[in-house]
Each structure stands twice: as C-alpha cells, then as structure tokens.
Amino acid sequence: MAHQSEEHAFISRPIIKNIAFFGDANLNPTTDVYKDAFAIAQTLAEQGFTIVDGGGPGVMDAATKGAVAGHGETISVTFYPKEAPGFEGRYVGNVTDLEIKTTNYIERMFKLMEHADVFVIFNGGTGTLSEFGTAWVLAKLYYGHHKPFILFGDFWIPIIDAIKSNMYIDRKEMAVFEIVTRREDVLPTIQRFEKKARSIASELKHAHEHGH
C-alpha cells in the first residue's frame, strides 16, 4: 500500500494549485533568468497559485521572492548536505511559509515533484537536467494522469530538437510539455494544461462508468 500511495503522489489532479520552479542556483538578481523566474512567480502567485522550490539560491530564491511580491503562498523542499560540498544546500535568504526537510538529493527532488502539479524549468546545470529528465519520464509513465511541465526559454528549442532527432522519443513524450519563451505566456499555458487535465479526467470517468 505504501508503494501505491508513493506512486499516486506523482499523478496530477485536474485542478492545478502548486507550481514548482527548477533552475540554476548560481544566479544573482541581475541576471535575466532570475528576473524571469521572479516575474513569473509573482504573476502566478497573484493568480492564487502556490509556488514550490528547493529552498536554495538562484532561481529558487527568485521563485520565493516573486511569490512573496505577489502575496502568494510558498513551499520549500530542502536538505542539508554533509557529504556534498558542491551542492548549494539551504539558502538562508530563501524563507518560505512551509519548509519540508528531506535527507538527501534524490528524496528532495521527488518531494518537490510530489508537492507540485506543474513544473516550470529554467536554464540550469546538471541538477536542472536531472529534474527535467525525471519530470519527463514520470509524465510518460503516467500519461493521461501526468504532471505537465513548461520549459522556459528559447534555448530549449535546439536542445529538444537534438534529443528528438537523436533519441527514441515518441509523440506521447512530446505532448507532456510546452516550450515557452515569454513571461506572459506561462499563465495561459498552465490554464491550457488544466483544461486538458479536466477533459482527460472527464473522459476517464465516463469510460469507468460505462465499463470501458
């Protein structure tokens, strides 16, 4: 039963509430990526979404501070590494309404995904790549009940083109995310995600009721 409940945590609900932000930790507030993350978090918070991030600096800090500027709720999922000196850890300047403490990087990543309904993925390094890959495979595994994600920035276009051209990526895998290049397009994209999720939920309910 425990395994079933753990797996269920990665299946989305038709109503999208929590939005997780992933991206580089080594960014200061003067960078475009930080400014984008701040502005997007502020807009989403103003619309009633809860912003979730890893409690660190960079994009994570921008997400929290943008949400605060938008008078929204914030959640951080953190861990305090003892044997990972290259990891940014908890950032004292990133103060959220709720902090969920984990024991290692893998647990932290999955808790972040458990506590969000949609992910917005900005530019970053290997940590961001791991989050992107995990979000993508989970979306494929639970397609139809999946948690969609946004890849923010035009740099994602050649990356996805290269992956699609050189790896075995099917149509279903390409359907679980959208690349967004403008701040103002993030909210409408999330609204489309929810509309699609509601439609799928309705279809599944109809099929269940009629024994299909």
Mean pLDDT, the chain, whole residue set: 89
Q: Average pLDDT, stretch 16-32?
A: 96
Domain membership flag for residue 137: yes
Domain membership flag for residue 3: no
Domain membership flag for residue 10: no
Domain membership flag for residue 172: yes
SS3 call for 187: helix
CA atoms within 13 A on the CB side of 38: 16
Residues 68-98 have pLDDT tens digits of: 999 999 999 998 776 555 555 567 789 899 9
Number of domains in the chain: 1
Q: Domain limits at 163?
A: 16-209
Domain membership flag for residue 5: no
Residues 125-165 have pLDDT tens digits of: 999 999 999 999 999 999 888 999 999 999 999 999 999 99
* CATH number, domain with residue 68: 3.40.50.450
Domain membership flag for residue 1: no
Strands (E), the chain: 18-22, 50-53, 74-79, 98-102, 118-121, 149-152, 177-180
Domain membership flag for residue 141: yes
Domain membership flag for residue 21: yes
In sequence order, the β-bridge partners of residue 79 are: 102
Q: What is the pLDDT of residue 208?
A: 65
